[in-house]
Amino acid sequence: MPHFIMEYSANLDDDLDIPALFEKLNETAIGTGVFPIGGIRTRAVRCEHFRIGEGDPENTFVHLTAKVGAGREPEVLKAASDKVFEVFTECLKPIFDKRWMSIGFEMIELHPERNYRMNNIHQKLADK
């Protein structure tokens, strides 16, 4: 973990460079030293149907959710959240400066007893 899930309005297709943004997000998550590399997942959900504010079709949104495993100190998660949001907004700034845009981010800590995972990518990375 984290699992980054980015929802975005379909009217951003021509402006949003998702592969470049995801590369930066993953680099940032790794750079925090808080998250195991093999647990990082990043994906986008294009929202075809949306209404923002008063309904102006030129309004846009991008919302990023980071789901993380439980057990880290609150200060550690806050510092990681601050860094992710800083990089996320920095990447979106060129669009934000020319379009009406809402940017959101939340980090959610998953319940330790109701979060199930199976992952062999950690082993692959350890074998390198």
SS (HEC) of 70-86: CCCCHHHHHHHHHHHHH
Identify the pLDDT of residue 23.
97
Identify the pLDDT of residue 122.
65
Convert the pLDDT of each residue in 26-50 to its tens digit.
999 999 999 999 889 999 999 999 9
Q: Which residues are catalytic?
A: 2
| Weakly modelled stretches of the chain, pLDDT under 50 | none
CA–CA dist 104, 6 (Å, integer): 10
Identify the pLDDT of residue 84.
97
CB 46 within 8 A of CB 15: no
